[in-house]
Chain A
Amino acid sequence: MKRQVYTFFIAGALAVTATSCYKELLPKEKEHFSNNVNFDGDTYTANFGRTNVFYGKFNADNSTQPLTFQLLNIHRPDSQPAPELLTQVDTWQWKAYYSGTEKTIAEIDAKRFQVKRPVLDMRENSGDLVFWATDTSKIKPGVYTFDILVKNNGGQKLFQKQKLQLRLPRPYEPYDYDDITGLHKKDDKNNLIYNHPTLEGVQDMQNNTINADQVNVYFHKTGTGKNSVTFKVYDKDSVLIPMSKFNVTQWDSLKYVSNTIGQNVFFGFNRKFATDSSTVTWDITNPYPVLADVGINESARVTFTYERVSYGQRRRAYMGYGFSILEPGSWEIIFKFRVNPKFIND
């Protein structure tokens, strides 16, 4: 009789154990690692002297986040290991966002801070690659190779022989020199290529429209003391055209559109005219515009406007130019007219 009691309890106990084992029978949730994770392209082209960001190139294909990214087997063009790409350099990073409404350069600098990072840097979880600003004294230009190991607990994938093409610095944009050879760019007819401003309504002395390619733009670095940009306009005879000729330019509200932050931003800081008003100088940040190297098609634009009466008709004309300056120092931007523009009334 007692046996029956035991049987009863044993049966009950077995049943309870059996039901608590359900979970043991089931597959555990694993992290998903898709076979289709990939990078958009395997070549990264970077220039010295500026921060190069390669952004949004990785497709996780719904793999479980966070994924971790690791740089491996970094090699020089001659297949030797390249530890110099992992040396720590001083980098400027942001602690508050750039709003475009900052009044002084100091205010902008206060939003940045300096940290040491490896020159070739990878964001740990997003796969964004950064080649920080450095110079050619430590690292030689050329095509370096490296592997990227992407993994989570569900799997991993090694992207081999990714190419990092390091090119010469581009001190300003648009840059009219080739950043591989260092030579002035040429068109297919072997003529040198120059930068040109945007012209609208600018006429020569015969009231013919002056085309943009009749005005060249030159960048000229004059010093390394202060970061500034000075604009000079020369006529055909290399005589300075004073800034006062651009008589309706609204100097106090010169703004450009920052493509990255989607706002109108005041151009430069501390505007100064030469005493004869032949040039105009602004203090600028480096790089300029502020997000020149990390933003999306970011360029600062300046527009000089004038007005004249032509046969009883008021004509408004302007000369504009979009650019960015990446190398610190005092820069001159020179507009050289190959045909003299007309500022006087008819």
Chain B
Amino acid sequence: MSKRYIYRLVAFLLLLTGAGNAVYAQQAVTIKGRVVDAASKEGIPGVTIIDIKNKKGLGVTDPTGRFTITVEPEKMIQFRYIGYRLETVKAVAGAAMNIGLVPENKALKETVIIGYQKRTKETASGSAAVIDGKALQDVPVSNIQELLQGKVAGLNIQNNSGAPGFRGTMSVRGVSQLDVSGSGDNAYLTSNNPLLVIDNVPVDFDGGISQSMLQPGAATGPLALIPPEDVESIVVMKDAQATALYGSRGANGVIVITTKRGNSPTPIIDITSSVFVNLPPSLRPTIGGNAERRYRISSILANSLDDREARMKLSDPNSQFLTDSLNPFYNNSTDWQGLFYQTTLNSNNNIQVSGGSQKMNYKANFAYQKNQGVLKNTGFNKYSLNMQLNMQPSKKLRIGAQLFSALGQKQRGNGGGLTNNGAGNSFTSSLMPGPSTFVGNPQLSGYENNIDDNNTLNIRGFVDVDYEIINGLRINSTTSYDYYTDTRDRFNQSFSNNNVTGLYGFVGRHDELNTRNGVNYSYSSRPTDIEKSHNIYASVFSEINIKSDDQHVRDVRNGPNDYYWGPRGYSPRFYPGNPWNNKDEVNVNGTPVSYAYHAASWAGFFSYNYRTKYVLDLSYRLDGNSSAGINNPYTKNPSIGLRWNFNKENLMRRLDWLDYGSVRVTYGINSRPTSTILNSLGAYNTVKSYNNGISINPNFSVLANPNMEPEKSSQFNFGVDLGLFRGRLEVIYDTYYKNNYNLVRDIKLPNATGYDKMQVNGGAIVNYGHELSLTVRPVVNKNPKGFQWTFSVNGAYNQGVLTELPGGSQLFINVDENTWQSTALKVGRNPQSNYMYETVGIYQSNDQVPVDPIRGVRYKAFKGPGNQYFQAGDPIWKDLNGDYALDNADYVIMGNPEPLVTGGLNNTVSYQNFSLNINCTYLAKRSILNNAIAARIYRLQFPERLSLDGGTAQGPINLYDINQINYWKQAGINATHPAIVGSFQHDAAVAPNRLDQSLYQEDGSYFKINQITLAYQFRDFDFMKRLKLRVLRAYVTAYNVGIFSKYTGPNPETVTSLGRDDINGYPNASSFTFGIGAQF
């Protein structure tokens, strides 16, 4: 839309220059003609023809590029079409007009919105990558974020949950946070979310979601609600100059989404409709039925210390499912995995009506998607309506308004959390009977019968007014309001909820008011030709942001029966903190989140360029917010950028192989408010009965830090853009050095202070790296119907280094008391590393185990008393301190859960009416902890049980097909894994298959085929004319086609941001789509 702004300016200027011509009122004549591509001579459909004097649309070309208009002769008429230079000609009566439109050099003339300012890419010094909305069309995904994967170098997206309506992780140029929430397989890094700006309105990335793993609400964010069909473009801003004007929230990068606008004098109706099938992933091989029983019983007999222990295990009432094999109840071979998964048929529909002229244009987009997940009772339905109206009553005044409303309805089965995990751990022994009327599996029954309605209602409106006071000086004002209601109503039948019914209600409201008022001024010393003049653009604006969020939960259990949803209300039995009913702290009644946040900012921007050749950008933004420490309320975000378009130098102009070339250098500082008001100001509680009265005391859990500052990042960026060989090769290279500092960390306080901890600014992470995007057009055919081939590849190398911890500390260990897979934060290394034992092999015999020469015993697995000696079949763990005992001192800092290289490939081939698009993503060098396998092997120590409750790796014991693992069976065989069970006693003491060892740390590199789309464009068919169809297109898409990896777990992508593969993860489904797009 910014392009139109320039067109408008140009048109306006042309109008001014031609204003002196005498115009005679003449009789209107009918003119026929054809608009073609100047290069290919192919007709261009949909070209808008405008009477530039009257600013009136005259018509559009038909699918073959022909037009018929009625106009007064000698009028100046203009032909405009996106991607082509404007062509203005004088209307001549009689002769047929043949107009050739010259394609524009897109890469440079593209406009991007940087810091709320429209800029042509040519004069922007920041690093910003543009994704055309067309690249996001052919897959009906539930969250548009999935489609951005692999499209921009340096934007790392991992779709680690396939649950419809949820989203994966996203980070721009590496991680910038150190905090970890959750534990075990659910340990996640706190979010590195960029700032999201939709149609110039900054919105919260996660909408009404607060960053908590135990997600109480519906967990549907704005990216899940925007229909991809409505997206005109997405700009990803990576460096400090591009993000500087977004101030306090731009430190993680900025993603700007622009939705489509009306741009046609005649109304256009676009209809996109598709049906798609979601297919469950291939299931894991398991041992079932008699094979399972035999394995379990033989394991008990072989691994018990003596017959007595074996008899004890077999005669336990809980192992009846093993021993009572003649009982039909236990004589099954149930395919539990198969019962949880399903294939679903879904549809996606979108209607867009748009049209209008310069003076007034409109757009309405209605979208509906039904997306049922591959796990039973999960899915996401969304409805959205986006309406936009732009008016220009006079040349000086522009008004735009938009109203976006969406409803997301989510079913979550029995899952929870931010990624809807839950099913993977639900597969119990195959010996148990499958579901029927009388018996069932609590987990499955949860997926089948639980009611879990999650509704997210989002309404976002904005009004944008822009007025030109004097020539070049405009004032503008934008006000937006974004409102979310998140509700969750869940009813668990008692069978699936520990024999008590569960009634859970959640209401969350999140609203955000944002208003921005500013003045901007543009000046050009030669307005007719900016390529020969001094050009200045300056603007000043202020921004106010007010946010509030309230969430309420009521959780009532133990209702009268499975069919009565009540009584609703506050449950006195299950209030948090009740020592009788909240021993595991599962009671969540109350108000988990309630806050109001105010921020005020002032920003100035100055851009100067000489002949669009030398560009200087300066910006400065001052941010204050209510959660900063009172001694440091404002943060300053300055930035500077330089750009040199060296192809405009005389020397370079002569190089005909150089289309364009430029060098960009930027530096700037951004910030991110992380502190909360509780940590910067402290909290106070009312205390009963102090000195016989009620008093107000400090809350001793956190000591206020009034000097708290927002987290900051400073970033240096150097970039080169090159266009070579007449569009055959485009190169964008960026290198950056980004220092995230002032990271907020907890420091524990000595108990003499009376307080537990304080939050301080102390951590720092540096990310540096290189990004390269190449677009190659090996075959460019003059004839658009001929064979065309475009190939683009992008890659980003990012290295993160932890450079500081508070108090000058070198090391911080984040102990995980569930899996013992702790993380280490060590200065000088990658920000997060695993802290585990290093497995270097398997002992082939007892004699291989090192012997303590002083004590005459073998190396053992425990430092204290006892005889946990290693034996043949155990893993060889390095004894670093040489004390012949495995303990904390033998933990090794290893691995890096952050990928070193990420990127994507895109390949488009077209011939005649067919086009084929293949989209791939790759990732290299990332450590994944294969807990999916490790936990299952670990649990095989307990073959007599149905599930392991409590402790490490708890969950049902089902039999992974262990023959697929090369485990140690006897001496002399080269095995990669330790003996599955040495003996029960030995395993309990030594835990050879413990999770905290490097054996399960694998390389998570992968290559993924995201999407293959084959499309057919209907052209020049008679029926299209009869039906007044302007465009008709049919396509078939396969999505999530395949993933290639050496990783032995289920999927290297569906792992947490810390690289833990959770067996409970929601798998990424493949889908096949057939769709039709039509334009009337």
Contacts and interface: CB of A to CB of B under 8 A. Distances in A.
A260 B857 contact: yes
Contacts of B889: 60, 62-63, 65, 126
Contacts, number: 131
B614 to A, nearest CB: 12
Contacts of A189: none
B154 to A, nearest CB: 15
B851 A96 contact: yes
Nearest to A94: B856
Contact of A123 (B864, B869, B882): B882
Contact of A62 (B644, B858, B891): B891
Given A22-B768, A56-B883, A60-B888, A4 B853 contact: no
Contact of A29 (B663, B828, B891): B828
B175 to A, nearest CB: 16
A19 interface: yes
Nearest to A108: B856
A73 B853 CA distance: 27
Interface stretch (B70-78, B228-236, B646-654): B646-654
Contact of B864 (A27, A56, A130): A56
Contacts of A11: 644, 663
Contact of A95 (B720, B826, B851): B851
B857 A93 contact: no
A94 B881 contact: no
A18 interface: yes
Given A18-B718, A94-B854, A260-B857, A66 B828 contact: no
B890 A5 contact: no
Interface string B841-852: 000001101011
B864 A290 contact: no
A56 B651 CA distance: 75
Contact of A22 (B644, B737, B854, B882): B737
B759 interface: no
Contacts of A32: 810-811, 826
A55 B858 CA distance: 15
Contacts of A178: none
Interface string A67-110: 10000000000000000000000000111111000000000000
Given A1-B651, A26-B828, A27-B828, A93 B883 contact: no
Interface in A97-141: 97-98, 111-112, 123-128, 130
Contacts of B881: 60, 65-67, 125-127
A154 interface: yes
Nearest to A113: B853
Contacts of A25: 737, 766
Interface of A is mostly: loop
A66 B851 contact: no
A296 B865 contact: yes
A294 B856 contact: yes
Interface in B793-839: 801, 803-804, 810-811, 813, 824, 826-829
Contact of B650 (A1, A30, A53, A295): A1
B946 interface: no
A8 interface: yes
Given A27-B828, A66-B880, A296-B865, A96 B847 contact: yes
A51 B854 CA distance: 9
A124 B853 CA distance: 14
Given A26-B766, A27-B828, A97 B650 contact: no
Given A56-B864, A123-B882, A125-B882, A19 B856 contact: no
Contacts of A294: 854-856
Contacts of A34: 811
Contacts of B813: 62
A66 B810 contact: no
Contacts of B857: 97-98, 260-261, 291, 295
Contacts of B888: 60, 62
A70 to B, nearest CB: 15
A97 B768 contact: no
Interface in A27-44: 27-30, 32, 34
A262 interface: yes
B882 A126 contact: yes
Contacts of A296: 865-866
Nearest to A294: B855
A18 B829 CA distance: 21
A15 interface: yes
Contacts of B846: 97
Contacts of A28: 828
Given A27-B803, A32-B811, A94 B869 contact: no
A53 B855 contact: yes
Contacts of A98: 856-857
B449 interface: no
B735 to A, nearest CB: 5
Contact of B827 (A30, A94, A127): A30
Contacts of B854: 51, 53, 93-94, 123, 128, 130, 294
A94 B651 contact: no
Nearest to A293: B855
B382 interface: no
A53 B856 CA distance: 12
A95 B847 CA distance: 10
A309 B546 CA distance: 95
A238 B945 CA distance: 60
A123 B883 contact: yes
Interface of A: 1, 4-5, 8, 11, 15, 18-19, 22, 25-30, 32, 34, 51, 53, 55-56, 60, 62-63, 65-67, 93-98, 111-112, 123-128, 130, 154, 260-262, 290-291, 294-297
Given A55-B883, A56-B883, A96-B851, 11 more contacts: A11-B663, A15-B718, A25-B766, A27-B828, A32-B810, A56-B863, A67-B881, A95-B851, A126-B883, A128-B883, A294-B856
19 contacts: A4-B651, A11-B663, A19-B735, A27-B801, A29-B826, A56-B887, A60-B889, A62-B891, A65-B890, A94-B854, A95-B851, A97-B846, A123-B854, A124-B882, A127-B883, A128-B883, A260-B855, A261-B869, A294-B855
